[in-house]
Amino acid sequence: MELTPVLSDNWDADQPWTLAGYGDYSAARKALAMDQDAVIQLVKDSGLRGRGGAGFPTGNKWGFIPQGDGKPHYLVVNADESEPGTCKDIPLMLANPHVLVEGVVIASYAIRANKAFIYVRGEVLHVVRRLQAAVQEAYDAGILGADVLGTGYALDVVVHAGAGAYICGEETALLDSLEGYRGQPRLRPPFPAVEGLYASPTVINNVESIASVPSIVANGVDWFRGFGSEKSPGFTLYSLSGHVTRPGQYEAPLGVTLRELLELAGGVREGHELKFWTPGGSSTPILTAEHLDVPLDYENVGAAGSMLGTKALQIFDETTCVVRAVLRWTEFYAHESCGKCTPCREGTYWMVQILERLEKGEGDAQDITTLLDSCDNILGRAFCALGDGATSPITSSVQYFKDEYVAHWEQHGCPFDPSASTLWAGA
Amino acid sequence: MSISEGTREEARQLMARYPRPRSALLPMLHLVQSVEGYVTPEGIGMCAELLGLTKAEVGAVATFYTMYKRRPVGDYHVGVCTNTLCAVMGGDAIYAELKQHLGIDTQNGVTDDGKVSLEHVECNAACDYAPVVMVNWEFFDNQTPQSAKQLVDDLRGGTPVKPTRGADTVVTWKEAERVLAGFYDGRANEGAAAGPATLEGLKLARSDGPNKSGAEKSGATR
């Protein structure tokens, strides 16, 4: 298995976050010499799919923007990385903010936008600094502003820090937040491509999606399609965390398996074995050791009953209590539910109560039935995917580890020792 | 404390960055925290007045977001990630020990000397460095209860601390909030590009082993 560092290629360079350390924006120069529609077509042909979780084809999103409508168009980069387990965009922007800015230039030009926003979560101070500095450098070098790279095209970019709300990673909640409101999702249609920011046509793309564009423009469609599969082409950042010998970022072609990635990462931590894992954050149903050979692309993870999501591979070994893990995720969803939709707001609250009881060993079989029934009443019944995501850990953990729920009430408590799971266990 | 004309002028600068001024509300609330320390009634009043909103409308936004504080926090606001992965890796133990060590019982509680406040935070996008502790939103990776206690002791005692991935020193809460409001402090060139976990895959790709970079062989350019 060959690794494919493209986005991560300059992360070990000298000051790669500076313009001098990054390069000359040659991909942007190339794109700006092309017709806008040709740039959109190129990204469509590349097959690049959104790296923020849903996997929607990026070029198609751009193609939905109505042209000649007389309204301003906007590009919004979703840099609100907050899905539990997900830790790829933050190191990308810390090391290489200019690849994002270059992608912003290309994407904005293609959709005929003169204003772009990078909505970055607020809780990452140094990443905000690196973005601010990169954007300022780009202005000073004539890469942004009234005359981008001497082409006459005008583009302004604003770095906008959020203020702590997972829901703002949901694209329509992000738009409400960016307009200065509480971040609550909007009903669709209308979709953001038609009525997005300020009710104008808006493209919202994940950081990694936009950052992938310069290399596609520079190297071409065939090069990009040389990695990955027909329906999931290209390379991507896989983030391994938890009970693994060498957690970290591994940039590989789409379709690599967890078995292969674990081999690169030195395996599950010494003396332990894989119990469960998430393929793409806590909102993607958990998988087990029986799924080690599932190709990690959009189709195959879906066929295995989960989702590729953000490729956030959280690895948990046999010391981990699955009920504790699921309770904590459920507390997270209850805390982050924006409150707009009753099934999600109320459902997550009650599911926490039930899971707390189960975790203490005070539950019973009826609690499992009630939990699954609650999930059934949330899934598909909320405006946005937060509600759906809240059900994933519960339904998948009951599917694979029902015995462990039972063991909690049979033993009148949690059978696990939490200290055995820690980073310093055995040290 | 009353808000100065200089701060109001900076708020107007933020409003001018957006096609519609209300988009500046989140940055303006960060600006309020950078001068007041938290979202004070005066700060809400300033935002309301400049944006032509009611105080209730501004308050409704401010209370939605966890980074906006309704009471003063410490000069150094410590966040311990207790989302599932960090919790399992030791975040729960770190948070429990810090609460006891600092004598803080409540979310966002502050030490008597006003130096340090403590919050358990949700996933901060550093899972490959679990368990993670934040100080004024700078990363302190791979923490243990011992290292975290040393960290807060240093913060209280005025001993400089260095984030694992961040600036060379931790700025104060108010200074950090000013950057988040959108006023760059000129410190982007401090610190490393990446931590060791970030570079694990790249290191393998650079080696001559079987995982050598496939992209390099195909002659990719960035």
Nearest to B202 among A11, A121, A423 (CB): A11
Q: For the segment A159-181, what is each residue's pLDDT rounded down to a tens digit? A: 999 999 999 999 999 999 999 99
Residue B222 is classified by DSSP as -
Asked if pLDDT for residue B215 goes beyond 90, the answer is: no
How far is B73 from chain A, CA to nearest CA, in Å?
15
pTM over 0.95: yes
**Sequence ranges of chain A with CATH classification 3.40.50.11540:** 19-225
For residue B218, the model assigns a pLDDT of 47
pLDDT score for A427: 59
On chain A, the residues whose CB falls within 8 A of the CB of B165 are 94, 126
pLDDT of residue A109: 98
Q: Does A16 touch chain B (CB under 8 A)?
A: yes
Q: Could you tell me which chain B residue has the CA closest to the CA of A95?
A: B193
Give the model's confidence band at B221: pLDDT under 50 very low, under 70 low, under 90 confident, else very high.
low
Q: Tell me the domains of chain B and their CATH numbers.
A: 5-62 (1.10.10), 76-171 (3.40.30.10)
Q: What is the pLDDT of residue B213?
A: 73
Q: Read off the pLDDT of residues A217-260 as tens digits, 9 standing for 90 and up.
A: 999 999 999 999 999 999 999 999 999 999 999 999 999 999 99
Residues A317, A321, A323, A327, Cα dihedral to 10°: -90
Cα A163 to Cα A109, A123, B31, B137, B187, distances in angstroms:
29, 7, 12, 11, 21
CATH class of A19-225: alpha beta
Confidence of residue B1 (pLDDT cuts 50, 70, 90): low
DSSP category for residue A307 = -
**Any CB–CB contact under 8 A between A227 and chain B?**
yes
Please, where in chain A does CATH 1.20.1440.230 lie? 322-419
Are B71 and B125 in contact by the 8 Å Cβ rule? The answer is no
Q: Specify the fold of A322-419.
A: de novo design (two linked rop proteins) (1.20.1440)
Contact A122 B166 (CB under 8 A): no
3-state class (DSSP) for residue A268: strand
Interface-testing mutation among A6, A87, A178, with chain B (most B C-beta atoms within 10 A): A87
Query: What distance in Å separates the CA atoms of residue B82 and residue B89, rounded to the nearest whole number?
Result: 9
Q: Which residue of B51, B193, B214 is in closest CB contact with A16?
A: B193
CB B152 within 8 A of CB B159: no
SS (H, E, C) A97-144: HHHHHHHHHHHHHHHCCCEEEEEECCCCHHHHHHHHHHHHHHHHCCCC
**Residues from chain B contacting residue A18 (CB–CB below 8 Å):** 189
A77 strand-pairing partners: A118, A205
> Would you state the structure tokens that stand for residue A271, as one six-digit string?
């003396």
Query: The domain A235-317: what is its CATH number?
Result: 3.10.20.600
Tally C-beta pairs within 8 A across A and B: 310
DSSP string, A177-242: HHTTS---PPPSSSPTTTS-GGGS-EEEEEHHHHHHHHHHHHH-HHHHHTSB-SSSBSEEEEEEEE
Q: Is A38 on the interface with B (CB under 8 A)?
A: no
Q: How far is CA A49 from the centre of its chain?
A: 12
Preceding peptide of A233 cis, ω within 30°: no
CB contact under 8 A, B125 and A164: no
CB contact under 8 A, B194 and A91: yes
B213 vs A5: CB contact, 8 Å cut-off? yes
Contact A249 B218 (CB under 8 A): no
Compute CA distances B148 → A19, A209, B99, whole Å. 35, 36, 11
Q: Mind telling me how many Å the CA of B66 is from chain A's nearest CA?
A: 5
Positive/negative CA dihedral, B165, B167, B171, B174:
negative
Q: Nearest Cβ partner of B29 from A3, A163, A328?
A: A163
Yes or no, beta carbons of A87 and B65 under 8 Å apart: no
Which one of B165, B182, B222 has the shortest CB-CB distance to A10?
B222
- Which residue in A85, A198, A247 is closest to B123 by CB distance? A85
Q: Which residues of A touch B212 (CB under 8 A)?
A: 2-3
- Which residues are paired to A242 by β-bridges? A315
Residue numbers of A between 45 and 74 with CB closer than 8 Å to B: 72
Please give the Cα distance from B112 to B2 (Å, whole number). 25
Q: How confident is residue B217, by pLDDT bands cut at 50, 70 and 90?
A: very low
Instruction: Please answer yes or no on whether A251 and B201 come within 8 Å at the CB atom.
Output: yes
Indicate if the pLDDT at residue B14 is higher than 70: yes
Place of tokens 């997550």: A348
Contact A12 B93 (CB under 8 A): no
pLDDT at residue number B209 = 74
pLDDT(B219) > 60: no
The per-residue pLDDT for A349 is 98
The answer to whether A145 faces chain B, any CB pair under 8 Å, is no
The string over A176-212, giving b where at least 16 C-beta atoms fall within 10 Å of a residue's C-beta and e elsewhere, is bbbbbbbbbbbeeeeebbbbbbbebbbbbbbbbbbbb
What values do phi and psi take at A291, rounded to 5?
Answer: -105, 15
The two three-digit tokens of residue B127, written as one number: 């899972």
Contact A123 B216 (CB under 8 A): no
Closest by CA to B202, choosing from A253, A386, A7, A113, is A7
Instruction: Give span(s): CATH 3.10.20.600, chain A.
Output: 235-317
Q: What are phi and psi of A312, to 5 degrees?
A: -90, 95
Strand stretches in chain B, DSSP E: 76-81, 109-110, 116-121, 133-135, 138-140
Helices (H), A26-111: 26-32, 36-46, 58-63, 89-95, 97-111
Of B64, B139, B210, Cβ closest to residue A165: B64
Residues A248 and B195: beta-carbon distance below 8 Å: no
- A-proximal residues of B, 26-55, CB under 8 Å: 26-27, 29-30, 51
Say which DSSP state A315 is in. E
Distance from the B99 Cα atom to the nearest Cα atom in chain A, whole angstroms: 18
Chain A positions touching B201 (Cβ under 8 A) are: 3, 5, 8, 238, 248-252, 264
Strands A248-253 and A235-242: antiparallel
A85 has a chain B CB within 8 A of its CB: yes
Does any CB of chain A come closer than 8 Å to the CB of residue B200? yes
The strand pair at A312-317 and A287-288 is best described as unpaired
List chain A residues with CB under 8 Å of B203: 12
Contact check, Cβ <8 Å, A126/B165: yes
Please name the member of A12, A316, A423 whose beta carbon is closest to the beta carbon of B142. A423
| Angle of CA points B15, B19, B20, to nearest 5° | 65
CA dist., res. B103 & res. B97, Å (int): 10
CA B38 to chain A, closest CA, distance in angstroms equals: 13
Cis, bond preceding A189 (omega within 30 deg of 0): yes
Direct distance between the N- and C-terminal alpha carbons of chain A, in angstroms, rounded to an integer: 33
Q: Which residues of A touch B139 (CB under 8 A)?
A: 124, 126
Residue B102 pLDDT exceeds 90: yes
- Helix (H) / strand (E) element for A249: namely strand A248-253
Flag if B215 and A5 touch (Cβ within 8 Å).
yes
pLDDT score recorded for residue B2: 81
| Residue B118 DSSP SS3 | strand
Q: Is the peptide bond before B19 cis (omega within 30 degrees of 0)?
A: no
Q: Mean pLDDT of all residues in chain B?
A: 95
Task: Say if CB A337 and CB A384 are below 8 A apart.
Answer: no
Q: Which amino acid is at A376?
A: D
**CB within 8 Å of chain B, chain A residues 149-168:** 158-166
CB atoms within 10 A of CB B202: 23
B216 has a pLDDT exceeding 80? no
What is the Cα Rg of chain B in Å? 20
Sheet of B76-81: strand order equals: B109-110, B116-121, B76-81, B133-135, B138-140
Q: For chain B, what's the residue count?
A: 222
Please indicate if any CB of chain B lies within 8 Å of the CB of A335. Answer: yes
pLDDT along chain A (427 residues), means of 10: 93 97 97 98 98 96 95 98 98 98 98 98 98 98 98 98 97 98 96 97 98 98 96 97 98 97 97 98 98 97 97 98 98 97 97 98 98 97 95 98 98 97 87
Residues contacting B217, CB < 8 A, separation 6+? A2
CA B198, CA A91: separation in Å to the nearest integer? 7
